[in-house]
Every structure is written in C-alpha cells, then in structure tokens.
Chains A and B, each alone.
Chain A
Amino acid sequence: MLLSELVGSRVVTAEGDDLGRVHDLVLVQDGPMGANGRAGLRLHALAVGRRSFGAQLGYAQGSVRGPWILRKLLHRSARLVPWSSVVHRDDEHIVVDIGGRGD
C-alpha cells in the first residue's frame, strides 16, 4: 500500500455519510524495532476533510507554532479518523465505521 493510494481517496462511513477526502496521514513512531534499532512508524489515523490553508502551512497539525497571531487565526484541528475504523478500501473510497469516534 502506498501513501499516494490513500491521499485523495474519499472517506465514507458505513452509513454512507461523506467525510471528505484524505489529505494527510498521522504516523506515530511506536512500531516494532527495525534493523536500525529504532521504533518503526505506524499509520494511526487519516486526516480527512477539506485541506485548509492552515493545514497547508502546518498550523492545523500543530507542527508550526509561530507567530502566535497566525497560530490563533489558522489553528483548526484536522478531523482524524483512526485507521482501526477502516472496514473497506478500494481505488476510490475508504469505508470507515467510526461510531462517533472521529475527532
């Protein structure tokens, strides 16, 4: 599976609600130790919905923190859907069963 196969895919709930397209992936360095002795990066969540200007600059993700005035204006958290809620995936869609768990 490639990142490019996920980014841009439309995410829908099992009930048919459209959550928008995937615009980023949340990786966490908490996987098994690799050959280099470091914890691997695992895919924990999909960031879905419209990719805002703040997200493009990194304010929505919290990666960029200054100047504070821009942080105040542009910080709007991305909607995250846990990977564990994915129940089906094809070339166009990712079906999730979030049961109200989406952030």
Chain B
Amino acid sequence: MRKRKSFKKRDLLGWLVMLPTLLLFAFYVWEPLLENVRLSMFSAVRYELQEFVAFDNYIKVINNPDFIAAFKNTFSYTLWSLVIGFLVPIALGILISETVRFKGLFRVGIYFPNIVPGLATVWIWSFFFNPGKTGVLNIILSKFGIDPQLWLTNPHWTIPLIIITLTWKSAGATALIYMANISSISPDLYEAATIDGAGIRQRIRHITLPSVFSLAKTLLLLQIISVFQILYEPMVMTNGGPNNASISLMMLMYRYAFRDFDFPSGAALSVMICIVLIILSGIYTVATRKKED
C-alpha cells in the first residue's frame, strides 16, 4: 500500500508534464479515431450519423469490384518497397560513411530529393515515364536506338516504377539516420579490426551491419506502415490505372469519401487498413522477438 502511494507521488510530476500532450492527443487523435470507428458502423448523410448498420459498410467495401485489386496492389507496393527501397538507404549510409573526400557533398546530394515537395517529385517522374516519344527516358533510349517504352502504362511495371520514385525521394533521409547510427560506432572497433587485417568487406559485415541491425528493424516496420498507406503517388501518376493495376486501398478510401461522399464506407475501409497494419506489426514484433531470444 505504502509502495503504491509512493509510486503515485514519484510520478506526479511526470503525469503533469504529460497532461497537455495527453489532452491534445485525446482531442486531435483518439477522439477522431474512435469517432471514425463509430462512423463506419452507421449510415450517414454527409458526416451526420443516421442509423446503426453494424458491419454493412464493411461488407459493401469488400464487395466493391475494385477492393480485391486494391488489396493485392497495396501488398505489392509494400513488398516492392522492401525489395527496392529497404537496402538502398543502408547501402548509401555505409558508402558515404566510408567515403573520405566530398562527404558533405554526397550527404547533401542524397538528401536533396527529400526537400523537393512530394507532388513536384511525382510530376517530375511522370515526365520521365511519359510513354510517348517526348518522355525523358524514351528520349534517352532513342539515342541508343531503342524503341519508346510504355513505362507506367505497362501494368507489370507500374508499381515497381512508382516505388522507384518513392525510393528516390525518401532514401536519402533514411540514409542520414543510418549514417548517424554508423558514426556512433566506436572507431576503436574499426581500428582493432584493421590491425587484425580485416578488409572493408569484413569490417562492414562484422561491425557495421550488426550495429545498424536494430535500427534497421525499426525502420523496416515504419516503412511497411508508411508504404501501406500509399496514396498521392499513384493518384497523380496513374490514377490507379491502367485497369486498376496501381490502385491502392487508400485511393479506394479517398474515392469513397471524396468522390462519392460515402463517408461511412471510407471510414470502414480506413478501419480495415488500420487492423491489417496492427496485425502486420504484431506478426513482425513476435517474429523478431523470437529471433532475439
């Protein structure tokens, strides 16, 4: 009993410090989240709830002809982002850390795409991927006598190309985080390894990679959560096409809410996305914990 009392006293200041944040979170995050779940179980006119319909909105969303395509594509985006985008920042981080000259220049260089506004990035890349003779990439190919390619309008290439755009934009920022992590590794380890005759490959394999491993795990999870919610890149570059080849769950949600004004169905889909992400995060956490054990 006494222990509990002292616990309260000790933490009072902490709770007080947290109070403003808790209130703001409650008002701007948790309350809208709960309201969204409630909205997903009602019919509505505009945002005004009408009657309780239980899971009807969820069934309606699942029965939508575009749902399966959007669901598959969203996983496809996530997988391609891991294949293309996960290792690039690690490689960049290691390479620049190992660079001796012009380190600052490279650091700014890789971060530069990140300061370009997101919409500008996708527009720039849309010009690159234009399938006609005026597309930048096709102009380059034509110099080598290669016929114009379809790029984004080839349904098999649409998602990987969008992911390349995404990686181009954000890999630099992630690489900086890895570089900060690498710079915190004690130089003594490298020196000792060098004295023992370890080459650059061995130093990376036995010192650098194990050191960034736990950071990489966290960033992997964040990447999955972030890419799973991909919206504006396919919306601007392909509008979900051709024939739904690049439509994502978030795009479908946007269409429900802002094209059809069907806010309850949009809310139902957003809750479903949230549940999928919770499950993915759970599986990932359990899997990595087992590995650590």
Query: Do A and B interact?
Result: no
